[in-house]
Structure 1
Amino acid sequence: MCRFIAYKGAEVTLNDIVISPTNSLVEQSKDAKKRKKPLNGDGFGLSWYPTHDDPFPARFVSIEPAWSNQNLQQIASKVRSQCFFAHVRDASVGMPVSQANCHPFNFQKYTFMHNGRLDQFVKFRRSILNQLSNKAFDLVKGNTDSECIFALFLDTIEFADNLTTDDIKHALYLVIKKIIDIRVATEANTNAFINLAVSDGTSLVATRYATDRNSQPASLFYGVGALELTSEKDFSLHGANTNKTAIISSEPLTEEDTDWVKVERNHSVVVDKDNNVYSERVPVDYQT
């Protein structure tokens, strides 16, 4: 399974969060600490919201491993943003390594990524595609379960671009319910790992979810506070009521344990437009 970072807060270079820390996403691409298979070398991607007056995010993806791509180093050291996603991929068995399958995925204001897999996807892929509107169907360029989930999300919000944080949160919960219902209808009874993240550049919602009651979802952590960049590798997050930064990550990025909170099983992390952060249970019952 993949590793990802979702960031919203103080303006920084992508390098400060994605590359510099002790357990950066680049480090996780070659030696992840919170999963059995440490390698995530089947491509990577960045999506960031510009600091100038442009609501649509940029996207850069590659099928190369993150640890060896010189363009990633250059872009991350120069681009500054207050909201961005980063992802390193471990392709599911049978899934091609291609740019079309690299996360994050974008449509207009929205950025989306997935860490996990929908087991037995071939069994119900057509069922998901059949539910999509023509507009959503035409957006699917690759063949991953993740991109189908994003298309399902866009249909769920009816492609609206003026949603509140609660709107986005409830839509993401409804997408999880739709996935479970489709899996039940097609007798796909094994586990589905559904760690999702979505943002419109203003709000950010991520989930840590698994459908099998006997399995743990993929790891997910978050940190919140006043961001302090240092001359060392690691940044710090200091508790504060203002100037908050929120970082959601598959693994803690720094060695300071007190900066990171583990997201509970089948819970979400929600960041609103003012960077207020809370975690809550995803109100969708698992079925297996």
Structure 2
Amino acid sequence: MCRHLAYLGPEEPLGRLLVDPPHALYRQSWAPRRQRHGTVNADGFGVGWYAEGDPAPARYRRAGPIWADLSFADLARVVRSRAVLAAVRDATLAGADAEAAAAPYAADAWLFSHNGAVADWPRSLEPLARTLPAADLLSMEARNDSAFVWALVLARLRAGDPAGQALTDTVLEVAAAAPGSRLNLLLTDGAAVTATAWGDTLWYLTEPGGGTVVVASEPYDDDPRWQEVPDRTLLVASRADVLLTPLKDPSADPAPAPSEERQS
């Protein structure tokens, strides 16, 4: 279900990140190499990026497949950014939300994507819906599981939770309410990337000496420096380093407190 990618580093054209690599997100829309659920990501796509001096990201989203959009090909050639989040979508269920259902979702300085599916949606999360203010539910961009998970995350961010805590608490809450859900979440504010590996693949790549980090559902090339993130893990990355923290599955047996692993 879906493939996504976040990038922090020197200014690059969108195409250099999303189209040019041999197994780029563009190609993953029809030929992903490591996707465990679904085969073709043709139910929409989107890219969000940050322009110098503007904290609010721009977005370009469409309901159809990325390969059919000639306007995106032009944008990818000329738009440059130091921070990008993009996704190609394989819908959990058919719906009428069109491009509104395509990640990235956005609010304030944040961009967000969900790779996965909530089990028994929407019935399983009815109790959680009661915890959100009516205004949050009515302002959801789409009526799908990803938009609802984003509403839960955003409520925590706006309450002052750090990004890692907001993702962790949301994943554990949804996993407890809907066991078997796949909850690979990806979040950025243009300065850091926060992600969870929960039920699907997640990888990251850092350049020697720091300054660049890519976090993605799967590698876009065969560079041996790509590192796979273990399942049930929180990733917090900046341009300087990557921090991995194991997450406790609420359905698992009690275990010792997790330790943290810092990568560079």
- How far off is 1:131 after superposition? 1.3
The answer as to whether partners of 2:3 and 2:115 remain within 8 angstroms in 1 is yes
Contact preservation (8 Å) 1:136, 1:154: no
The whole-number CA distance in structure 2 between the counterparts of 1:149 and 1:21 is 30
Give yes or no for contact 2:232–2:249 (8 Å, CA) kept in 1.
Answer: no
- What CA distance in whole angstroms lies between the structure 2 residues aligned with 1:201 and 1:159? 20
Of the three residues 208, 212, 219, the one matched with 1:245 is 212
One-letter code of the match for 1:38? T
Unaligned regions of 5+ residues in structure 1, if any? 210-216, 226-238
| Residue 25 of structure 2: aligned partner | 25
* C-alpha displacement of 1:96: 4.1
Distance (whole Å) between structure 2 residues aligned to residue 121 and residue 3 of structure 1? 20
For residues 76-134 of structure 1, the C-alpha deviation after alignment (integer angstroms, 9 at most, x for no partner) is 11111111111000001344461111111000111100000011012134323221123
Aligned to 1:172: 167
2:258 maps to which residue?
A: none
Secondary structure at 2:122 match in 1: helix
Listed as ranges, the matches of 1:220-259 within 5 Å are: 220-225=202-207, 239-240=208-209, 242=210, 244-256=211-223, 258-259=224-225
Alignment-derived partner of residue 69 in structure 1: 69
Q: Which amino acid aligns with 1:116?
A: G
For 1:270, which of 218, 224, 236 is the aligned residue?
Answer: 236
% identical equivalent positions? 27
- Report if the CA contact (8 A) 1:128-1:148 is conserved: no
**Counterpart in the other structure of 2:249:** 285
Q: Does 1:208 align with 2:197?
A: yes
Question: TM-score of the superposition, structure 2-length normalised?
Answer: 0.89
Cα deviations across residues 31-83 of structure 1 (Å, max 9, x unaligned)? 111125331001100011112x1100001100110111111111111111111
Deviation, structure 1 residue 223: 0.2
Residue 276 of structure 1: how far off its partner (Å): 1.9
The answer to whether the Cα contact below 8 Å between 2:21 and 2:221 also exists between their aligned partners in 1 is yes
Cα distance in structure 2, aligned partners of 1:119 and 1:202: 32
Give the number of aligned pairs. Answer: 251
Q: In structure 2, what is the Cα distance between the partners aligned to 1:151 and 1:93? A: 19
Asked if the contact 1:2/1:90 (under 8 Å) is kept, the reply is yes
Give the AA of the match of 1:218. D
CA RMSD of aligned residues (A): 1.7
Name the CA distance, whole Å, in 2 between partners of 1:14 and 1:139. 29
Determine if contact 1:133/1:155 at 8 Å carries over to the other structure.
Answer: no
CA distance, structure 2, for counterparts of residue 93 and residue 60 of structure 1: 22
Give TM-score scaled by structure 1 length. 0.82
Name the residue aligned to 1:212.
Answer: none
2:10 aligns to what?
A: 10
Letter in 2 for 1:250: S
Q: What SS does the corresponding residue of 1:259 show, helix, strand or coil?
A: coil
TM superposition shift of 1:202: 1.4
Asked whether the 8 Å contact 1:42–1:90 carries over to 2, the reply is yes
**SS of alignment partner, residue 34 of structure 2:** coil
- 1:4–1:86 Cα contact (<8 Å) kept: yes
Q: In structure 2, do the counterparts of structure 1 residues 94 and 128 end up closer, same or farther at CA, with 3 Å as the change threshold? A: farther
Kindly indicate whether the alpha-carbon contact (under 8 Å) linking 1:44 and 1:103 is maintained by their aligned counterparts in 2: yes
